[in-house]
Amino acid sequence: MKGFVIEKFGTENLELKNLEPSGNGIRVKITHAAINPLDYNLINGKVVYGVSPMPHIAGSEVIGSAMEDGKEIKKGDRVMIYNRIFDSTCNQCISGNEHLCDNGGIWGVITNGGFQEIVSVPETNLLKIPEYITDVQAVSVPIAALTAYHALIRAKASPGEKVLYYGASGNTGILGMQIASIMGLEVYGVSESAIAKGYGAMEIFGRDSIPADFRADIVVNPLGASTFSSSMKHLKKMGRMITFGVLTGRNAEIDIAALYTAENSVIGSTGGTRKDLMSLLGIMKNHQIRIPVDSTFNFEDLPKALKRYEEKHSGRILLKY
């Protein structure tokens, strides 16, 4: 079987090699992958986490077909990979926060990932994909949709509240706005791209055209430094600002006085729990979640897919194996 090996960071250094399958657990033949910031940054040496092993195989958002029986999973099942490695025994795990496992990390970052044809994964990291979820939907669930959903849970989002979503045309934005709308929130987006329209928002503002007096209960801002401080100005009193990304840098200044005098909160969020993932699949049973696809590349064309990711694109960039 083949896989894309990183010995030196950089898309141009990816090498497609013949490999022996490795890892413990159930073997899964990968059928689809999605390109997300985590993969892109990891391959290009910009990831905020430690990467192991080196040489490395990236790819954290994949689905596939089980090649053998487990306890629950049966050979031939369509499966998605819950991509947090966890030990089930530390304090975080037994408190239901396995995504924060003291001895864990992200599958595809602290282990090899799915930019290879066959992987072996512990059964606790596999979920059978329900029939009502298409392959294109399924491959966007484990990172993009789960991150967006968990962030709204962390923000204690309630029906009727107003949310302002930065990065509205991005992977999490398109999904997060739809999920927020399904959860009964009044959704507004911030994006320069027309693609952001039609995914649950009442209105999409340009970055410089948000009305100065616009206030939301929740501001979701995964963009990092460039808009961190300005986005907080759009919080109501007791508002919550939630972040889970650093695309434009990891250090920002905040107006501490404005923060405490309005009793605002800044909340971090990362990934989500297995329980969140299962709830999300339940939501998707009753509500259609639309996922725009920019382009689909063959597995062997991963470098082309990563180049496409660098360009202005609209929707998800997928790999088909």
Binding site for Zn ion (CB under 5 A): 86-87, 90, 93, 101
In the complex, the smallest distance separating the C-beta of residue 166 from Zn ion, rounded to whole angstroms, is: 31
Asked if residue 53 has a cis previous peptide bond (ω within 30° of 0), the answer is yes
Closer by beta carbon to Zn ion, 15 or else 87: 87
Closer by beta carbon to Zn ion, 101 or else 306: 101
Closer by beta carbon to Zn ion, 64 or else 271: 271
In the complex, the smallest distance separating the C-beta of residue 103 from Zn ion, rounded to whole angstroms, is: 5
Ramachandran region of residue 108, left (φ > 0), alpha (ψ -120 to 50) or beta? left
CA atoms within 13 A on the CB side of 22: 14
In the complex, the smallest distance separating the C-beta of residue 99 from Zn ion, rounded to whole angstroms, is: 10
**Listed residue (238, 250, 285, 296) closest to 41, CA to CA:** 250
Q: Strand pairing partners for 43?
A: none
11 token code pair? 């898309």
In the complex, the smallest distance separating the C-beta of residue 86 from Zn ion, rounded to whole angstroms, is: 5
Closer by beta carbon to Zn ion, 97 or else 265: 97
Closer by beta carbon to Zn ion, 93 or else 138: 93
Closer by beta carbon to Zn ion, 94 or else 238: 94
244-256 core/surface letters (b: 16 or more CB in 10 A; e: else): bbbeeeeebeeee
Closer by beta carbon to Zn ion, 88 or else 261: 88
Rounded CA-CA distance 301/315 in Å is: 18
Ordered alpha helix ranges (H), the chain? 37-43, 91-94, 135-138, 146-154, 171-182, 225-232, 256-261, 274-286, 302-310
Closer by beta carbon to Zn ion, 90 or else 136: 90
Helix (H, G, I), strand (E, B) or coil at 56: strand
In the complex, the smallest distance separating the C-beta of residue 122 from Zn ion, rounded to whole angstroms, is: 13
Rounded CA-CA distance 210/38 in Å is: 29
In the complex, the smallest distance separating the C-beta of residue 154 from Zn ion, rounded to whole angstroms, is: 19
Q: Which residues contact 16 (CB under 8 A, 6 or more apart)?
A: 2, 3, 4, 5, 300, 302
In the complex, the smallest distance separating the C-beta of residue 56 from Zn ion, rounded to whole angstroms, is: 23
- The Cα-based distances of 28 to 51, 74, 78, 280 in angstroms read 22, 11, 9, 22
In the complex, the smallest distance separating the C-beta of residue 248 from Zn ion, rounded to whole angstroms, is: 32
